[in-house]
Amino acid sequence: MSTVSESKALHALHRSHEAPISLWRDAGRRFRRHRLAMVGVAILGVMVVAVLAGPFFYRVPINEIDFKDKLKGPSRAHPLGTDDLGQDLLARMLYGGRISMAVGVTSMLIAISIGTLIGATAGYVGGPTDHTLMRVTDLFLSLPGLPLLLLIVYLFRDSLKTWVGPEMGVFLLVVAVIGGLRWMPVARLVRAQFLSLREKEFVEAARGLGAPPLRQVVRHILPNAMGPVLVAGTIDVAAAIIAESSLSFLGLGFPPDIPTWGRILFDAKDNLDFAPHWALFPGAAIFLTVLSINYIGDGLRDALDPRKVLQK
């Protein structure tokens, strides 16, 4: 194998040993220099502030029914227009956005944490552990979604409601269900990366130098395996926001009168040719959330890439 890469790897190893704090500081600086990542932070920040603080400033009620004003496009009274019951879309988007964004991000974090943990363990340890974990993954992949969800509603809804209260109970249930059923692709992807990376020169080098397994994984393999995880993460945010809306059709999600973005999008679909604004805004909100999270992810990866240090 090439001596160049070994020496690079050694160098990197060496460096990280001696200056872990400056590594993080470096990463922070590189992240701030990443233009798109900063754009992502800005967009996401504005949206988070909007859904958190918005309802305190924009005090139009979300469920005020006014049939005279139904299906109206954006106007001064209703900046984003109204739906078919004449309810104000901006108020609904702000209120529902809180839930949609929280569900999207939390479920994504659950999915990629479980997925990465299982995939990394299986890929690094190998042998019977790998077999067992991957067969569990197969099992989860083959579960039929809809009947399983109905079963979960049936078994847990009422007990969770009494245990942590209706709002929080539903939230926990929703993120657990979405996250718990979406980690398998991440696990398979991470494992595949690990199988390949495990045998690469720079890991062998680290192993040869006596780095303990956990360190090998966290410092050397994982950063190089993060690519698919970040992609899966951004896709999962979108998928979770949409999946939440389909859950409420099973009686599992939030009650139907809570206007999450996916829900508004679904309600709007049959009126698409008559009232396009109704679908446009929630669609755009999901798109912007996912896009900004993706740019932040890209920025993080570039900032944390250990080899970038050498190339600069």
Partner 1 sequence: MDERDIRGLLNDVTSGRLSRRAFVQTMVAVGLTAPMAAQMLASAGVAHAQPKAPAFTPTRRGGGGPLRVLWWQAPTLLNPHFATGTKDQDGSRIFYEPLAAFDPDGNVIPILAERTPSLENGDLARDGLSVTWRLKKGVTWHDGKPFTADDVVFNWEYAADPATATVSVGSYRDLDRVEKVDSHTVKVVFKKPTPFWYDAFCGNRGQLIPKHVFEPYKGAKSREAPANVKPVGTGGYRFVDFKPGDTLRAEINPNYHVPNRPFFDAVEMKGGGDAASAARAVLQTGEYDYAWNMQVEDEILRRLEQAGKGRVEIWSTGACEHIQVNFTDPWKEVDGERSSAKTTHPTLSDPAVRQALNLLVDRASVQEQIYGRQGQTTANYLNAPSRFRSPNTKWEFNVDKANQTLDQAGWKRGADGIRAKDGKRLKFVYQTSINAPRQKTQAIVKQACAKAGIDIEIKSVVASVYFSSDPANPDTYSHFYTDLQMYTNGPGAPDAQLYMEQFTTWQVASKDNKWASRNITRYRNEECDRLWKSATTEMDPVKRAAMFIRINDILIQNVVVIPVLWRSGVGAATAKLRGMDLTGWDSTLWHLPYWHKA
Partner 2 sequence: MYRYFIRRILIAIPVIFGISIVLFTILALAPGDPFEELATNPNVPPEVRANLRAQFGLDDPLPVRYVQWLASMIRGNWGFSFVSRVDVDTLILQRLPTTIIVLGAALLLGVAVALPIGTLSALRPYSIFDQIATTFAFIGFSLPTFFTGLVFILLFSIYLDWLPFIYRADIDATGWRWWWEHLRQSIMPVAVLGLFQGATLTRFVRSAVLDVARLDFVNTARAKGLSEWITVVKHVIRNALIPVVTLLALQVPTIFGGAIITEQIFRVPGIGSLLISSILANDTPVIMAITFVFSCLVVLSNLIADLLYGWLDPRISYR
Residue number, 69 or 217, with CB nearest to partner 2:
217
Q: Taking CB under 8 A as the rule, does residue 291 contact partner 2? A: yes
Residue 117 contact, options partner 1, partner 2, none, Cβ 5-8 Å cut-off depending on partner type: none
Shortest separation between residue 18's beta carbon and partner 2, angstroms: 21
Task: Decide if 91 contacts 104 (C-beta within 8 A).
Answer: no
CA 147 to chain centre: 25
Residue number, 26 or 66, with CB nearest to partner 1:
66
Q: Taking CB under 8 A as the rule, does residue 168 contact partner 1? A: no
Shortest separation between residue 32's beta carbon and partner 2, angstroms: 17
212's tokens: 């303990």
How far lies 272's CA from each of 58, 67, 264, 269, in Å?
Answer: 26, 19, 12, 5
Name the residue with tokens 């039929």: 144
256's tokens: 């139907």
**What span, in angstroms and rounded, lies between the C-alpha atoms of 174 and 180?**
10
CA dihedral over 201, 202, 203, 209, signed as positive or negative: positive
What does the DSSP 8-state code read for residue 71?
A: T
Tally the C-alpha atoms within 13 A of residue 102's C-alpha that lie toward its C-beta: 18
How far lies 118's CA from each of 181, 188, 208, in Å?
Answer: 14, 9, 25
Rg of the chain on CA atoms, in Å: 23
Residue among 42, 49, 53, 151 that touches partner 2 (CB under 8 A):
151
3 state DSSP class of 251: coil
**What span, in angstroms and rounded, lies between the C-alpha atoms of 114 and 143?**
17
Residue 47 contact, options partner 2, partner 1, none, Cβ 5-8 Å cut-off depending on partner type: none
> 211 to 270, contacts with partner 1 by CB under 8 A?
249-251, 255-257, 267, 270
Q: Taking CB under 8 A as the rule, does residue 165 contact partner 1? A: no
Shortest separation between residue 290's beta carbon and partner 1, angstroms: 27
Shortest separation between residue 173's beta carbon and partner 1, angstroms: 15
CA 144 to chain centre: 22
Buried residues in 96-129 as b, exposed as e (16+ CB within 10 A): bbbbbbbbbbbbbebbbebbbebbbbbbbeeeee
Q: Taking CB under 8 A as the rule, does residue 199 contact partner 2? A: yes
Which amino acid is residue 296, in one-letter code?
I
Residue among 10, 36, 38, 48 that touches partner 2 (CB under 8 A):
36
Task: Decide if 91 contacts 61 (C-beta within 8 A).
Answer: yes
Residue among 2, 4, 56, 67 that touches partner 1 (CB under 8 A):
67
Residue 81 contact, options partner 2, partner 1, none, Cβ 5-8 Å cut-off depending on partner type: none
> 155 to 184, contacts with partner 2 by CB under 8 A?
155, 184
Q: Taking CB under 8 A as the rule, does residue 202 contact partner 2? A: yes
List residues binding partner 2 (CB under 8 A).
2, 4-5, 8-9, 36, 126-127, 130-131, 134-135, 137-139, 141-144, 146-148, 150-151, 153-155, 184-185, 188-189, 192-193, 195-196, 199-202, 224, 227-228, 230-232, 234-235, 238-239, 242, 262, 265-266, 269, 272-273, 279, 283, 286-287, 290-291, 294, 305, 307
List residues binding partner 1 (CB under 8 A).
63, 65, 67, 70-71, 84-85, 150, 154, 249-251, 255-257, 267, 270-271, 273-274
